Structure formats: C-alpha cells, structure tokens
Amino acid sequence: MKIRKIIDKVLESFLIIIMGILVLDVLWQVISRYLLKSPSSFTDELARFLLIWVGILGAAYAAGKKMHLAIDIFINKFNEKYKKLIHILINTAIALFAVFVMVIGGSNLMYILLKLGNTTPALSIPIGYIYSVIPVSGILIIYYSVYEIAATCKEKNKNQSTA
C-alpha cells in the first residue's frame, strides 16, 4: 500500500510538472509569434512531445485511480460473485495488453528508433527517448492491474472467511 501511494504521488507530481512546462511552452510560443513577431522554433515540437508524455502517462495514472473507461452496464448485470470474477478478468486483459502492446511493442519501437539514430529536427533529441514513455506507462499499468487483482482476491477471501 505504501509503495502504491509513493508511485501515485510521484506520477501525479511528474504529470503536474509536465503540464506546467507545456502551458509555459505554449504561452511562450504565442508571445514569440504574436507579440515579438519571431516565432520560436522549438516550442511546437516540445509541446507535441510533452503532450505525448502527458497523454500516455495520464492513461497510466487514470488506470491507477480507476478513472479509465469501463463498461459498467455489463458488470452490473451480474451478482457479487461474478462481478469480482469479471473484475479480475478485465484487469488481467488490461495487464496482458500492457505487456504485449506497451512494454514489448513500445520497447521494440524505442529500440528501433534508437538504433536508426533518428533525432528530432528542432530539439535534436533521439526520437527513441520520446517514445520511451510507452513501456514506462505499460509497466505502471501492469502494476496497477496486478494490484487491483490482488485486492479483489484478498477481498474475495476475506468475504469467504466471514461467511
């Protein structure tokens, strides 16, 4: 429980920092373009990459806070016993998606981009570093899914022992 709170707080703080930088970056772009009449060359690219990081890490944060998109109509048609089973199956599917698509696929994408040596035009950052957020977010989603599965199983066992 303590580890989860630490991960939540670090992720939340990191997202706040990224959003703050994004706001300042876009503000500087507007000022330099319209007031100074000399648009900054890096702000558009930086905003795009920060938005990628906020979106993908935000998805992991939303999964951890159980704010992700869910189909409650389907689950609510079952009794408590089956609701818990479906909850476990859904979190297993989420974890498997994160393993295969985000961690394995994202790592392969990152490896290929780093191997090719592509860099961003304005910032000269290797593109592989930009997409490193995909496997990192995948690992966080896996952690949150496994945590939810364990909590559901623990709750299930607790309810059985009191019955």
Taking alpha carbons only, the member of 133, 111, 108 closest to residue 52 is 133
Which residues, listed in sequence order, are joined to residue 126 by a DSSP beta bridge? 119
124 conformational bin, left if phi > 0, alpha if psi -120 to 50, beta if neither: left
* Whole-Å CA distances, 88 to 18, 82, 109, 121, 145: 32, 10, 30, 45, 9
Domain that holds residue 77: 2-162
68/94 Cα distance (integer angstroms): 11
How many structural domains compose the chain? 1
Q: What is the largest CA-CA distance in the chain?
A: 73
Per residue in 101-143, pLDDT tens? 999 999 999 999 999 999 999 999 999 999 999 999 999 999 9
pLDDT at 39: 87
pTM of the full structure = 0.89
Residue 40 pLDDT: 87
Chain CA centroid to CA 133, Å: 8
Residue 94 CB neighbour total at 10 angstroms: 19
For the chain, residues with pLDDT lower than 50 are: none
pLDDT at 161: 57
SS3 content of the chain, % helix, strand, coil (to 5): 80, 0, 20
- Write down the pLDDT at residue 159: 63
Query: In whole angstroms, how far apart are CA 96 and each of 54, 65, 130, 147?
Result: 22, 19, 23, 14
